């Protein structure tokens, strides 16, 4: 599937995603810390040619910026270039509007497929909606990470097909933090997708925190932005109901979790993050499930953070570059 050309300063949406080796460089030096300096991130995806790195560096340096880290990926025998730069700059000397214009000019120069710049301290936080079902472990983890400032997002709502009582931990937390909770009872015939779309219209992306419903292709096309899911294993193993018991009964020695983008094909979207842990004959079902749920929490949170930090780029049909 061809990638749609996009040059934007807003959050990128990735629908087609592949394998490569990475080249990472840390550039020496850097100005001393100053309250006037601000952190910026720029990602770039364009046809490969000589001089791209030089022009990117010149663009930042000419405005008084200083590159702190640069990640570059040029696949072997493919005419494509990926980069992600982190830099410090003075917003007085390099206003946000001027920054957008400078990177836009570079995009035109190199016929970029994607050029995205983000200044976390100046730009609005990403607005997200969280969908969950009965299991709380991923939802609760995300809520507490958000409360502690470890996830750079604004949670606009939590939507669930499972009703939670007024005195439950999740509901009390949401009420204290003024986060709306919407219970939408779903059936096989009615997934309430139209109502969900209305509730998440203003979000930048969605997170499925163990939402045990399949989103239709029509929903994904209408929403038109990225949806991040957590899967209870190393895809494509142990699909369907009660995956932990399936894996336990199979006597596996490694368990895992996979965070991936949601596509129309079930559990086949581009992978963002995977984590594994050893288990053994000494584990009972309870300890096995606890280890599995812990992996799911960590894997989903790391994938979300990577996405918000512009570390995830689409590559070929169904893979990702993750810097």
pLDDT-wise least confident of 175-184, 192-201, 233-242: 233-242
179 in the same domain as 309: yes
pLDDT-wise least confident of 20-34, 177-191, 201-215: 20-34
Residue 175 reports pLDDT greater than 50:
yes
114/116 Cα distance (integer angstroms): 6
Exactly one of 90, 100, 123, 267 is catalytic; name it. 267
Q: Which domain holds residue 43?
A: 36-116
Sign of CA dihedral 208, 210, 211, 216: positive
Q: What confidence tier does 317 reach under pLDDT thresholds 50, 70, 90?
A: confident
Q: Which pLDDT does position 250 carry in this prediction?
A: 77
Determine how β-strand 153-160 pairs with β-strand 181-183: parallel
What mean pLDDT comes out for the span 193-207? Answer: 97
322/307 Cα distance (integer angstroms): 9
Q: Residue 132, SS3?
A: strand
161 in the same domain as 225: yes
CATH number of the domain encompassing residue 245: 3.40.50.170
Q: What is the DSSP letter of 215?
A: P
216 in the same domain as 86: no
What mean pLDDT comes out for the span 297-311? Answer: 97
pLDDT-wise least confident of 135-149, 169-183, 308-322: 308-322
Q: Which of 116, 132, 156 is the last residue before a domain boundary?
A: 116
Q: Which pLDDT does position 33 carry in this prediction?
A: 44
Q: Which of 89, 116, 143 is the last residue before a domain boundary?
A: 116
Q: Which pLDDT does position 244 carry in this prediction?
A: 74
203 in the same domain as 102: no
267 is an active site residue? yes
CATH number of the domain encompassing residue 74: 3.30.70.260
Answer whether residue 193 is part of any domain. Answer: yes
pTM over 0.75: yes
133 in the same domain as 93: no
313 in the same domain as 177: yes
242 in the same domain as 150: yes
288 in the same domain as 187: yes
What mean pLDDT comes out for the span 221-245? Answer: 81
What are the residue ranges of helices labelled H in 164-311? 169-176, 193-199, 217-223, 243-250, 285-308
The end-to-end CA distance of the chain, in Å, is 22
135 in the same domain as 206: yes
Q: Categorise residue 139: left if φ over 0, alpha if ψ from -120 to 50, beta otherwise.
A: alpha
Q: What is the mean pLDDT of the chain?
A: 87
Q: What percent of the chain has pLDDT over 70?
A: 87
175/82 Cα distance (integer angstroms): 43
Q: Which pLDDT does position 32 carry in this prediction?
A: 43
Chain position carrying tokens 């689409």: 314
Residue 22 reports pLDDT greater than 70:
no
* Domain count within the chain: 2
Q: What confidence tier does 240 reach under pLDDT thresholds 50, 70, 90?
A: low
Answer whether residue 22 is part of any domain. Answer: no
Q: What share of the chain is helix, strand, coil (3-state, %, to 5)?
A: 30, 25, 45
| Contacts of 319 by beta carbon, 8 Å cutoff, 6+ apart | 17, 18, 19, 270, 271
Q: Which pLDDT does position 9 carry in this prediction?
A: 44
138 in the same domain as 68: no
Count CA atoms within 13 Å of residue 64 on its CB side.
Answer: 11
Q: Which of 116, 151, 172 is the last residue before a domain boundary?
A: 116
Answer whether residue 98 is part of any domain. Answer: yes
């Amino acid at each position: 599937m061809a990638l749609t050309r996009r040059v934007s300063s807003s959050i990128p949406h990735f629908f087609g995603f592949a394998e490569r080796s990475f080249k990472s460089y840390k550039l020496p030096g850097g100005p001393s810390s100053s309250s006037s300096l601000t952190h910026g991130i720029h990602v770039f995806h364009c046809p490969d040619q000589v001089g791209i790195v030089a022009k990117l560096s010149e663009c930042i340096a000419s405005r008084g910026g200083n590159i702190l880290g640069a990640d570059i990926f040029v696949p072997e025998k493919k005419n494509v270039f990926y980069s992600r730069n982190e830099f410090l700059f003075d917003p007085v000397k390099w206003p946000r509007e001027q920054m957008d214009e400078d990177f836009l000019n570079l995009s035109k120069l190199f016929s970029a497929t994607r050029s995205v710049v983000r200044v976390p301290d100046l730009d609005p936080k990403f607005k997200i909606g969280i969908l969950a079902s009965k299991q709380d472990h991923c939802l609760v983890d995300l809520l507490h990470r958000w409360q502690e400032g470890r996830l750079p997002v604004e949670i606009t709502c939590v939507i669930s097909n499972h009703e939670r009582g007024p005195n439950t931990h999740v509901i009390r937390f949401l009420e204290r933090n003024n986060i709306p909770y919407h219970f939408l009872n779903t059936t096989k015939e009615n997934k309430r997708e139209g109502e969900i779309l209305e509730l998440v219209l203003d979000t930048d992306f969605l997170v499925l925190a163990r939402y045990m419903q399949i989103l239709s292709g029509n929903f994904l096309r209408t929403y038109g932005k990225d949806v991040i899911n957590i899967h209870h294993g190393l895809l494509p193993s142990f699909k369907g109901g009660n995956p932990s018991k399936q894996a336990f009964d199979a006597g596996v020695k490694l368990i895992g979790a996979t965070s991936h983008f949601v596509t129309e094909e079930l559990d086949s979207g581009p992978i963002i993050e995977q984590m594994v842990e050893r288990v053994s004959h000494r584990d009972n079902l309870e300890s096995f499930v606890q280890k599995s749920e812990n992996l799911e929490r960590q894997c989903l949170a790391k994938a979300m953070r990577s996405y918000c930090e512009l570390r995830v780029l689409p590559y070929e049909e169904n893979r990702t570059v993750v810097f």
